[in-house]
Amino acid sequence: MWKIDVLDIREEMKDTFQRLQLKKEKLQKGRPLPQMALNKIKESLSIEWTYNSNSIEGNTLSLRETQMVLQEGITIKGKSLREHFEVHNHNKAIEHLYAIVANSSKLKCADILILHGYVMRSIEDDFAGRLRYGAVRISGANFVPPAAHKVSKLIDELVDFVNQNPLKLNDIEMATVFHHKFVWIHPFFDGNGRTVRLAMNLFLMKKGYPPAIILKDDRKKYYDALNQANNGNYQKLMLLMSQALERSLNIYLSAMPDNTTDFDSIQNLVNEEKTPYGQEYISLLARRGKIDAYKEAGVWYTSEEAIHSYVNKRKRKR
């Protein structure tokens, strides 16, 4: 069904894929994590996930306001009722997602429809959990979604493609391709973005990964990457997914009792002369996924260990 060529990208991202696989294995071996730490991480990531996914779609509640709505039941003055519903709905969708992660190793159309139902509840009840039956156009996109009468079959084919994996894609490649193809099909009148980011993570979490959270700060990069994927180039989208996943993996691994990796901002590492490279070059390596790094509030973080690992790898290749 899908004509996809990721061989060149696979070679380019080989080190990144290996690093993420090793981190996932380390996390699985380290389970169960201390329950208190696990609860805190899950709670924090759920709030971040809700805030970032809603913000990408235009919700104006801040991270702190999102937290107050969820944890304190506060209504934020000057914010619309819809924006408050979007926060509560997304959080309920995450709760449902966690409940069904262990049910089956397969992705199911029914689960995706249920997630969309949560996302759109009390906002567009007539369309919540239902595939679109009319045409849609996406502002700023370089494609027109398929006709409505094709949507049901295309979604079924996409879910079958994910479960059967005829191209033998690894989990990160599959999550990326699924994410793009879902957006291209655009199966709902509204709520597609939030739903695909939930469904993609449902797939990843069934595979043993933590949720990958696309950050609001990467909104432009995210949409640009999706537009490139429409032209058959998955590299930027796959890199963005990998970076989001690595950030979450690092958060979980930091809670393990034997964790010894200390992350710091690239600027601090350079100022303290803990790296043989300058800030600009290390930032470039981080953006390209060449080193273990993640971005927080627009600032890149990495570790001495990650930089020296890259240095040693380069020496071995000479």
Catalytic residue among 90, 116, 180, 186: 186
Residues facing 296 on adjacent strands: 299
What is the C-alpha separation between 175 and 163, in angstroms, rounded?
A: 11
- Number of Cβ within 10 Å of residue 105's Cβ equals 8
Residue 44: C-alpha distances to residues 60, 89, 185, 281 (Å): 19, 17, 31, 32
DSSP 289: T
Residues facing 294 on adjacent strands: 301
Q: Is 186 noted as a catalytic residue in this protein? A: yes
Q: Which residues of 272-308 are buried (b: 16+ CB within 10 A; e: fewer)?
A: eeebebebeebbebbeebbbbbbbeeeebbbbeebbe
Cis geometry, peptide bond prior to residue 276 (ω within 30 degrees of 0):
no
Report the catalytic residues.
Answer: 186
